[in-house]
Structure 1
Amino acid sequence: MAAPALESWQAVAPRRRRSGARHPRPREALATRNPRAEPEVDGGVVLRRIREAEADLLISDFWSLALETINKCLKKHLEQRNTPVGTLSEAIGDLHLDPSPDESDAAPGSIPGETLVTGTCDWKCVCYGIGNFATCVIARNQLTFLLLFLEKCQIPRSHCWVYDPLFSQLEIAVLNTLGVTVLRENEEGKRSVCGEPTIFYMLHCGTALYNNLLWSNWSADALSKMVIIGNSFKGLEERLLTRILQKNYAYVAKILKGLEEHAFPQSPQYTDTFNDTAVHWFPVRKLCQLSPDTWAFREEPDYRGCEDLEIIQNETQAPSATDSNLL
């Protein structure tokens, strides 16, 4: 029996900002009726529509340009990880990596083609806030990009963890069929990389989600292992008043000088899907230039009294031990 249809997120007119860049309201804020939404159907139809979206994305100029943008970032990240241990140790201390599972099998439903530059780095991937892809074209295109990206980056789908508090039972079943791992609890973005190089795919998410993620990995060691594909941090800085950014999203504010950002290409075909999206990584040389006081501040974010908090919070405030140990 199909789960009741859920309303998908709509990009609405932005609030007052310093720049004219278009930016959708994060889908965690409020569920509103989307004129591009479709009636929810059965899993077979959803899978067929994902395959059709894959075919459209693969032949688009946007796909090749977006891959080029991501590849540029991954190359730099790989060069950093290949730096002799002694050199990195002087900056951030000895790196202790947990062994990665030896999994070389191809992801189910994989699409052949050129792979991204990943070297011997065994990436994990975490996806937050993909939205109701069974009923929303925008969310489905974002999911399609993720699936193709996993193939290009040679990340087994079993090494990709996905969560959105709005997923219907049908959508969870489809994701299980696709081979990704659906998290059972709302982590609010508070997931540590646990020493593993991890790509976080977080399109059009609330600022608090990025802030929580940074807090959970607040060290040069952990941040140097992360790549974030999501809302432009430069855009966040431009849109939010400085005092609001520093008060409510302190970790986003503090890391702005410790990252490099590469914007996604502009595409009329995918404007609503990937606008304001960028790839972020954290060079060790920049992280080491931040003041000691920056790293000394480690208080957990508290959003009481924060207006327009654009995430759905979890009453338990903590992920289950089982899910935390999955990465």
Structure 2
Amino acid sequence: MAAAAAALEPWQAAAPRKRRRRRREVAAGDPAAEPEADREVVLGRIREAENDLLISDFWSSALETISKCLRKHLEQLKAPVDMLSEALGNLHLDSLPSESDLAPGSVPGETLVTGTCHLRCVCYGIGNFATCIIARNQLTFLLLFLEKCQIPRSHCWVYDPLFSHLEIAILNVLGVTVISENEEGKRSICGKPTIFYMIHCGTALYNNLLWSNWSVDALSKVIIIGNSFRGLEERFLTRILQKNYPYIAKILKGLEELEFPQTSQYMDIFNDTSIHWFPVQKLTQLSKDTWVFREEPYYQDVEDLEIIRNKTEDPSATDLTSS
């Protein structure tokens, strides 16, 4: 792994807590939402958000948390020592370049990465970043995260049913790939180490993602930045979690989780957020029956599912295998 950690029918990315739902309500047209703007205005707002994030205590603390997880994850993948040191060496605060050093449409702190990078990123549920400051901060974090981990933006796939035509155009300018179909979170990593960035998404999306990669080999190559799985365990009755979201219930003993730092400035943006990875040692200690069960989730009798199903006959996702 080189230099890493260096709609049709859309699903709805919402989470159980009312605090999280407020972001979606604002993004959907609440009077508190910001007015629609043109591309350059939104790009300017992204730059401003990045400037604020870079100098915040939250950013430096979040980098420390990410670094701890990525070091263990890369060691598990048996990355060469020099690559590991190089990747983790980039997890620090660089001085911000001047505006004159930036290419048109880029954001401060962007690093041009050359060569081959095998670590990829998939992002679900950012929301309307053109009009919602919470969504914009989450997008900004993603862009900085890609830079610090030396993941080329071309290796990042993004999807949210709320994206406007303007936002899709901006994401294209920023260099990430917008997924055109509703995957319901059912994306296989196809053997390639992948980070899933899923802030405040519905529980079913995490369950679907686990199902799509339900093996020791696949999960050992997955990192999830999103809702705390321990928090899900605390909020759901055990029988409900096991019945409605069995893959989450089964994997709780096979993961390690590090909570994101909490600061007043970014409390509503990254509350209940953790970074998760799946140690091989823990995965192999799970019973064999754990891996035999492979039934696809359908959620027929689940209330408040927080996901809109893909009703097409062939809900195939954008193919990453050729990338």
- Which band: TM-score by shorter chain? 0.7 to 0.9
Deviation at 1:157, TM superposition (A): 0.3
Deviation at 1:122, TM superposition (A): 2.3
2:117 and 2:152 in contact (8 A); partners too: no
**Which residue pairs with 1:189 in the alignment?**
185
Alignment of 1:10-49 (within 5 A): 14=18, 24-25=20-21, 33-34=29-30, 36-49=32-45
Q: SS of the residue aligned with 1:278? A: strand
- 1:277 paired with 2:273, answer yes
1:10 and 1:31 in contact (8 A); partners too: no
1:12-70 deviation per Cα after TM superposition (whole angstroms, max 9, x unaligned): 964xxxxxxxx624977997654541111111111100000000000000001001101
1:261 and 1:281 in contact (8 A); partners too: yes
Alignment of 1:176-255 (within 5 A): 176-255=172-251
1:208 and 1:309 in contact (8 A); partners too: yes
Pick aligned residue for 1:68 from 64, 69, 72: 64
Q: SS of the residue aligned with 1:154? A: coil
- 1:261 paired with 2:257, answer yes
Deviation at 1:325, TM superposition (A): 3.6
Q: SS of the residue aligned with 1:190? A: coil
Q: Distance in 2 between matches of 1:187 and 1:10?
A: 16
What percentage of aligned pairs have identical amino acids?
73
**Which residue pairs with 2:46 in the alignment?**
50
**Which residue pairs with 2:73 in the alignment?**
77
Code of the residue aligned with 1:150 in structure 2: it is L
Pick aligned residue for 1:109 from 95, 106, 111: 106
Pick aligned residue for 1:162 from 130, 140, 158: 158
Q: SS of the residue aligned with 1:261? A: strand
Code of the residue aligned with 2:309 in structure 1: it is Q
- 1:293 paired with 2:289, answer yes
Q: SS of the residue aligned with 1:38? A: coil
What is the total number of aligned residue pairs between the two structures?
Answer: 287
Q: SS of the residue aligned with 1:313? A: coil
Q: Distance in 2 between matches of 1:307 and 1:42?
A: 39
Deviation at 1:236, TM superposition (A): 0.4
2:128 and 2:162 in contact (8 A); partners too: yes
CA 1:319–1:126 in 2, change beyond 3 Å: closer, same or farther?
A: farther
Code of the residue aligned with 2:206 in structure 1: it is Y
Q: SS of the residue aligned with 1:189? A: coil
Q: Which runs of 5+ in 1 are unaligned?
A: 1-7, 15-22, 85-105, 115-119
Q: Which runs of 5+ in 2 are unaligned?
A: 1-11, 81-102
1:150-191 deviation per Cα after TM superposition (whole angstroms, max 9, x unaligned): 000000000000000111111000000100000000100000
